[in-house]
Structure 1
Amino acid sequence: MIRFENVGLRYGMGPEVLSDLTFEIAPQSFQFLTGPSGAGKTSLLRLLFMSLKPTRGLINLFGRDTSRIAPAELPKLRRRIGIVFQDFRLLDHLTTYENVALPYRVQGWDEANYRADVIDLLKWVGLGDRTHVYPPILSGGEKQRAAIARALITKPEVLLADEPTGNVDPPLARRLLRLFLEMNRLGTAVVVATHDIALMDLVDSRRMVLVDGRMEIYE
């Protein structure tokens, strides 16, 4: 599904923040992306989401060389990827329900075809009583859960999560991890970026470890 070959990334004329990355992410796989702060985890997720281009090397996504994808094609491809950002990126003028339903609205779906799914997912992440609340009223943990629900609502082929449990307590972190594992069981390839060792120890899964911009993989 995703293949990196000797990928490097630098910002401007600075040193490389990612160097010689060669790995694959298989369909329906589950993996953690970890490493110390500043190791390049967020930059790698941005490469996977195609919001950054590598400065060298090849990225193949869904059978396509990303360097040959026209800008007009990117939105359609990105819809096959769900992403949870560290800063949530909820829209303050939309309710929790409307934020989670946004991917469907952008695609022009009739609300009758997705309303029940949105409400069910909000209940699952513990926001069933916050559907009509606006983001400025939500706590940090509630915003995190809303962002996760929005990323999952369209059942993407790939889910990228950047520190998705960083603003929640351990019991909720485990519940969210179970949600990611269930999505994986249903066919979504999942990449969870985290530095939470206790969380990773709950799952016997692949670990992709970034240190100083280089990667080691532990199966």
Structure 2
Amino acid sequence: MFRFENVGLRYGMGPEILRDISLHIPERSFQFLTGPSGAGKTTLLRLLFLALKPTRGLITVFGKDRALITRKELPHLRRRIGVVFQDFRLLDHMTTYENVALPLRIRGRDESSYRDDVIDLLKWVGLGERMHVLPPILSGGEKQRAAIARALIEQPEILLADEPTGNVDPPLARRLLRLFIELNRLGTAVVIATHDLQLMEQVDARRMILSEGRLDVHD
């Protein structure tokens, strides 16, 4: 799905934030991206989400050279990538249901074609009884699950999650992890950026360790 070969990234004329990054992410795989705060985990996720271009090196995305992907092609490719951001990015004036359905509304889908799918997904993440609640009323864990549901509504081939358990207690963190494991079992590749060692110890998965801009991969 993704292949990085000697990728480097810098902003402007500053020092390289990422240096000589080489990695591959196969279909249906599960991996953790870890490392100290400020190591560049979020920046690497932004490269995977096609929100940034590398300064040097080769990135291949779904068989396409990143450098040759046109602006017109980006929305189609991004729909194949689900993203859960640290700050959730839910819209406070929309209900949980409306937030999750938003990507489909933006694409111009008629509600009758997706309503049942959104409801089923909300039930799957444990928010079936909270679908008509506005985000300010939701707990942190409920907001996190709503953000996960929104990332999954277009049935992405890969899910990128940036510190998805960073603001929840250990029992909820384990519940969220079970959601990611089940999602992976159903065929979606998963990349979780986290510094939570206890979380990583619960899954036999590849660890990509980022430190001082360099990546070390442990299968």
TM-score over 0.5 (shorter chain)? yes
Please state how far the C-alpha of 1:61 moved relative to its aligned partner: 0.1
Q: Which amino acid aligns with 1:191?
A: V
Q: Which amino acid aligns with 1:72?
A: K
Q: How far apart are the structure 2 equivalents of 1:27 and 1:114?
A: 26
Q: How far apart are the structure 2 equivalents of 1:174 and 1:111?
A: 33
Higher mean displacement: 45-54 or 145-154: 145-154
Q: How far apart are the structure 2 equivalents of 1:177 and 1:140?
A: 16
Q: How far apart are the structure 1 equivalents of 2:193 and 2:128?
A: 26
Task: Give the equivalent residue in structure 2 for 1:12.
Answer: 12
Higher mean displacement: 135-144 or 93-102: 135-144
Task: Give the equivalent residue in structure 2 for 1:144.
Answer: 144
Task: Give the equivalent residue in structure 2 for 1:92.
Answer: 92
Please state how far the C-alpha of 1:24 moved relative to its aligned partner: 0.4
Gap runs ≥5 in structure 1: none
Please state how far the C-alpha of 1:112 moved relative to its aligned partner: 2.3
Task: Give the equivalent residue in structure 1 for 2:50.
Answer: 50
Q: Does 1:115 align with 2:78?
A: no
Higher mean displacement: 34-43 or 120-129: 120-129
Please state how far the C-alpha of 1:189 moved relative to its aligned partner: 0.9
Secondary structure at the residue paired with 1:71? Answer: coil
Q: How far apart are the structure 2 equivalents of 1:110 and 1:24?
A: 37
Please state how far the C-alpha of 1:68 moved relative to its aligned partner: 0.8
Please state how far the C-alpha of 1:128 moved relative to its aligned partner: 2.0
**Structure 1, residues 137-175: CA drift from partner, whole Å, max 9, x if none?**
223222211111111122210110001111222222111
Q: How far apart are the structure 2 equivalents of 1:187 and 1:174?
A: 20
Task: Give me the TM-score of the superposition, normalised by structure 2.
Answer: 0.96
Q: How far apart are the structure 2 equivalents of 1:91 and 1:73?
A: 26
Task: Give the equivalent residue in structure 1 for 2:60.
Answer: 60
Q: How far apart are the structure 2 equivalents of 1:135 and 1:171?
A: 21
Q: How far apart are the structure 2 equivalents of 1:48 and 1:180?
A: 18
Secondary structure at the residue paired with 2:60? Answer: strand
Q: Does 1:102 align with 2:136?
A: no
Please state how far the C-alpha of 1:217 moved relative to its aligned partner: 0.6
| Contact 2:141–2:172, Cα closer than 8 Å, also in 1 | no
Moved over 6 A (4+): none
Task: Give me the TM-score of the superposition, normalised by structure 1.
Answer: 0.96
**Structure 1, residues 87-127: CA drift from partner, whole Å, max 9, x if none?**
11112221110111112212222222322221222223232
Q: Which amino acid aligns with 1:60?
A: T
Secondary structure at the residue paired with 2:148? Answer: helix
Query: Identity of counterpart residues, as a percentage?
Result: 75
Task: Give the equivalent residue in structure 2 for 1:41.
Answer: 41
Secondary structure at the residue paired with 2:72? Answer: helix
Secondary structure at the residue paired with 1:32? Answer: strand
| Contact 2:7–2:58, Cα closer than 8 Å, also in 1 | yes
Q: Does 1:71 align with 2:71?
A: yes
| Contact 2:210–2:216, Cα closer than 8 Å, also in 1 | yes
Instruction: Count matched residues.
Output: 219
| Contact 2:29–2:188, Cα closer than 8 Å, also in 1 | yes
Q: How far apart are the structure 2 equivalents of 1:14 and 1:102?
A: 37
Task: Give the equivalent residue in structure 1 for 2:82.
Answer: 82
